[in-house]
Amino acid sequence: NKIKMQIIIGIIIFSISYIVVSFAGSFTMFIVAMVIVTFGEMFVWPAVPTIASQLSPKGREGFYQGIVNSFATMGRMFGPFFGGILADQYGMQVMLFILTAFMIIPIITSLLYDRPIKKAGYQPESRL
């Protein structure tokens, strides 16, 4: 699946950017990390609403897009809070390594998200 691979590649690029920033010793390396993370965003963020649209029942696309956006908002709300606690307690490098390690979770969920519907014989349709 092209979209699945697009998301996984984007997540790997995100992980690389977190590794780069954790070892950044100069402002230039922070800029490099930001460029890398931007490429990761270009792969991941357009694909997420596409998957939500493809997997949602006809006529319920807006509801499912709302759920996707709600979880994204929760991430922006809780991420800085817990990241700040980790950074205060253990330092920025540890926080970034933990963030990088957590990137395995979206890789696994990206690999598995469509298994139940494929077993049921449903093929997501492209409505775009």
pLDDT digits (tens, 9 = 90+) for 88-128: 999 999 999 999 999 999 999 998 887 777 777 766 565 55
Q: What is the pTM of this model?
A: 0.82
What secondary structure letter does DSSP report for 121? T
pLDDT at site 122 = 65
Q: How far is CA 8 from the centre of its chain?
A: 9
d(CA 105, CA 102): 6
81 vs 120: which has the higher pLDDT: 81
pLDDT digits (tens, 9 = 90+) for 19-59: 999 999 999 999 999 999 999 999 999 999 888 888 888 89
d(CA 114, CA 7): 13
pLDDT digits (tens, 9 = 90+) for 62-78: 999 999 999 999 999 99
d(CA 53, CA 94): 36
Sign of CA dihedral 97, 98, 103, 105: positive
Torsion of CA 43, 46, 52, 55, to 10 degrees: -70
Query: Where do the domains of the chain lie?
Result: 2-115
